[in-house]
Structure 1
Amino acid sequence: MLRIGLTGGMGAGKSTVARILADRGAVIIDSDLVAREVVAPGAEGLAALVDAFGADILAADGSLDRPALAAKAFGDDESRATLNSITHPLVGQRTAELIAGAASDSIIVQDIPLLVENGLAPLMNLVLIVDVPEGIRIRRLVEFRGVLESDARARISAQATDEQRRAVADVLLDNSGAPDDIVPVVHRLWEERLLPFEHNLRTVTSAHRPNISIVDPDPDWPAQAQRLIARLWGACGALASRIDHIGSTAVPELPAKDVIDLQITVADIAAADGLRAALGAAGFPVIARVTHDNPKPTDADPDGTNVVLWAKRLHGAADPGRVANVHVRVAGSPGQQFALTFRDWLRADATARVEYTEVKRAGAAKAAGLIGEDAMLAYLDVKEPWFDAAYERALAWRAAGD
């Protein structure tokens, strides 16, 4: 199932976005409500809090007196750690139960105010940030919630900054306008991105662009790659030794297809196969038909015919809003080394960048009017001969540097 993280600063209006998504059929898991549920009267969490902090944290009706708890739990780091050690596992357990109880084709939206602060973004398939300038949020809190301006500023300053939220945002939802302005934006997001994403995830299908198009370099490509890399680390754990942004989008100022290429380095091909399920759950289903790179001559294989040396596993992002390829290669293999060398060579050699741009544009021209596999084959028919020659040039550049 598709897991969406939703957050935003105080006064941004994320509850409005959650409501619209719920109306479209999303399963909303509100972390604030879950946090209250696990310390409700009779709950295991409340009993544990009483044991840790005393019975005077209870109100007359037996419910949790939150100000009384705060006075004790936030007085020092040790008390705060005790509080977190009790509540956080229970919230996590209850959240997991709610997710497990949802239908397999659900779009789950986890409404988490402290998603950024608690480093939870990499655990989501997609992160939505409701984005509103701080000044507007303060005004809303004062005018519509009756919060003192000084209190509003203090509470906002204790949260993540706008820049920190934007850094993890796959989607920025501008909610700074009139109350109804956000409604059609969220509906389009549901129809054009979330529904297709869920379908791709469930059917083990990668998103792709039907046509070959070379676009101007996007300065946001590196940041997009880093968000994907953070997710991949969460999926791979110790099975990966490194994860890199490779390919044309990793080279500043280089025109490219708007596709992020990433490389996961593993110890052996068995480890690559062992990542299949985890990468799929993270939003990167396997592309089973691809089992190796195009072989090139090496010292170990002068004829360039041994596909085993060039073995890899390929996964593609299921998110139609951010097409990406994830190449899983073995450490020290020709393909793994060449991916890094080629990227670094292009970064260093302006002439090579110009040549490669011309080749890619020629390939795109040959693919014009074609779609899908036909378009890619026409593109590669132009690109691969130059690529084969570039292999030797890139290796020579690396050897000269060594």
Structure 2
Amino acid sequence: MLRTGLTGGIGAGKSTVARRLVERGAVLVDSDRIAREVVAAGTEGLSAVVEAFGEQILRPDGELDRPALASVVFGDPQARRTLDGIVHPLVRARSDELVAGAAADGIVVQDIPLLVEGGTAPAFPLVVVVGVDEQERVSRLVSTRGMAESDARARIAAQATDEQRRAAADVWLDNSGSAEETRARVDALWDGRLVPFEENLRAGRPVAAGPPRLVHPDPTWPDQARRLADRVAVAAGSRGSGVEHVGSTAVPGLLGRDVLDLQLAVTDPADAGPVGEALAEAGFPADPHDPGDGAGTVAVHRSADPGRAAVVVLREQGSPAWRHAVELRDRLRADDRARDAYAERKRAAAAALYADDPDAFRYSAHTAAWRDDPNG
């Protein structure tokens, strides 16, 4: 099963994307719909809301008067926290039930409007954000929902910014074009990423490393690594002792393979088992061909996401392997000559020796010789 978080700002057209995903076979867990269900007439949720805010937030038929409640909580942070404290646990519990009931080979899409604001993005193996620029969203809210422009802008301003959403997005799905263009983008996402990602997860199969193709440094690598590091940290929980971005993609200006290297520290090697299971669920199954070494590396995991190659290496905190990864990264960041020498070694290995190699293990071993002894 693949759990995918879906979000987007008001007016971005998230529901349109969700409908197409359902047409392609996704199981939709709609947080907005669940939030209405848990405070319907006769529910314990509605009783708790009435107890907190009074019967003036009820309609004559006993249902929740949403505009009346909105007038109470909008602009009042404490009232909003009180309401969230009632509704959010109920929504999470019902969402968990629906996810648990999905098929083992299902692609579950959890539509969560405030996924970024709530800080829950790292809990998903993949996050899709539906994006449209602010002016277009305002125009849509005015024309399709009858909002005053000032109200539309106030609603947008109360949510996360596009910058915050981009930081959480594994996929930024542009919905600014026609309906046909959006359908094509959703279909490409489904066929090219979601389906193979789910198949890899179910099989416990990491994406193959592939040949060692070097690329120019990408200035977004650190941001991408930060997003994955947050996901790894959440999966590891209290058994983890910090996640570091290491390797070539962690060194500004250094060419490298487009593979993010993360180092997860554990204080007890015995934690590798339960941590490994959690990493596999989060999208990083163990690499059966790379069990670790005797210098502190206890396990190697790789991404099952065909859209983002990554390696997560579990190392005992303070071990020689743990220190070496951090010290090499910091040295290459600080010493341009060392960085250039390492780049030349990588370039020669990729182009002259292993360009046609079906995987990168021998290339990695060759460059490791320089890392271990740069003067040798």
Q: Same fold (TM over 0.5)?
A: yes
2:361 paired residue number: 376
Identity %: 54
Question: In the alignment, what sits opposite 1:139?
Answer: 139
The structure with more radius of gyration = 1
The corresponding residue for 2:340 is 354
Please, which runs of 5 or more residues in structure 1 have no aligned partner?
Answer: 294-306, 394-402
Query: What's 1:63 paired with?
Result: 63
Other-structure match for 2:38 = 38
How far does residue 143 in structure 1 lie from its aligned partner after superposition?
A: 2.0
Does residue 367 in structure 1 map to residue 354 in structure 2? yes
Where does residue 271 of structure 1 map in the other structure? 271
Q: Which residues in structure 2 correspond to 1:149-188 (within 5 Å)?
A: 149-188=149-188
Structure-to-structure mapping, 1:34-113, within 5 angstroms = 34-74=34-74, 76-113=76-113
Structure 1 residues 213-253: Cα deviation after superposition (integer angstroms, max 9, x where no partner): 01100001000000001111111122122110000000000
- Which amino acid is 1:157 matched to? A
Normalised by the length of structure 1, the TM-score is: 0.89
Q: Which amino acid aligns with 2:206?
A: S
Task: Supply the AA of the counterpart residue of 1:384.
Answer: A
CA contact (8 A) 2:303 2:309 kept: yes
CA distance in 2, matches of 1:218, 1:98: 39
CA shift at 1:292, angstroms?
2.3
The answer for the alignment partner of 1:388 in structure 2 is 372
Bigger CA drift: 251-260 or 79-88? 79-88
Q: Which moved more, 1:151-160 or 1:221-230?
A: 151-160
Give 3-state SS (helix, strand or coil) of 2:179's partner: coil
> Structure 1 pair 77/152, CA: closer, same or farther in 2 (3 Å)?
closer
CA distance in 1, matches of 2:247, 2:358: 22
Match of 2:261 in 1: 261
2:301 paired with 1:315: yes
**Alignment root-mean-square deviation, CA:** 1.7
- 1:281 corresponds in structure 2 to 281
Which amino acid counterpart does residue 376 of structure 1 have in structure 2?
A: F
How far did 1:80 drift? 2.9
What is the TM-score when the length of structure 2 is the normalising length? Answer: 0.95
Q: Give per-residue Cα distances to partners, 1:337-381, cap 9 Å, x unaligned.
A: 000001011111111111111111222122222313xx532x245
Number of equivalences: 375
- Counterpart amino acid of 1:243? V
CA distance in 2, matches of 1:68, 1:130: 30
1:196 positional shift: 0.8
Alignment partner, residue 251 of structure 1 = 251
Report the Cα offset of residue 76 of structure 1. 4.3
Residue aligned with 1:56, SS: helix
Residue identity opposite 2:354 in structure 1: A
Q: Distance in 1 between matches of 2:318 and 2:209?
A: 31
Partner secondary structure for residue 160 of structure 1: coil
Cα deviation, 1:298-344, whole Å, max 9, x if unaligned, reads xxxxxxxxx2x334211111111111000110111100000000101
SS of the residue corresponding to residue 20 of structure 1 reads helix
Any gaps of 5 or more consecutive residues in structure 2?
Answer: none
In 1, the alpha carbon distance for the partners of 2:258 and 2:248 equals: 9
Pairs within 5 Å for 1:106-125? 106-125=106-125
* Distance of 2:161 and 2:55 partners within structure 1: 37
Letter of the structure 2 residue corresponding to residue 11 of structure 1: G
Q: Are the structure 2 counterparts of residues 363 and 75 from structure 1 closer, same or farther at C-alpha, using a change threshold of 3 Å?
A: closer
Measure the CA separation in 2 of the matches of 1:385 and 1:213: 19
Which amino acid in the other structure matches residue 337 of structure 2? T
- For the 8 Å contact 1:117–1:159, the answer to whether it is kept is yes
Paired with 2:289 and 2:358, the residues of 1 have a C-alpha distance of: 19
Partner of residue 18, structure 2: 18
Q: Secondary structure at the match of 1:60?
A: coil
Counterpart of 2:41 in structure 1: which amino acid? Answer: P
Which residue number in structure 2 is paired with residue 300 of structure 1?
none
Equivalent position to 1:337, from 308, 315, 323: 323
Provide, for residues 119-151 of structure 1, a one-character-per-residue CA deviation record: whole Å limited to 9, x for no partner: 111111111111111011111112222221111
Distance 1:215 1:61, change over 3 A: same
User: Is the contact between residue 328 and residue 371 of structure 2 (CA under 8 Å) also seen in structure 1?
Assistant: no
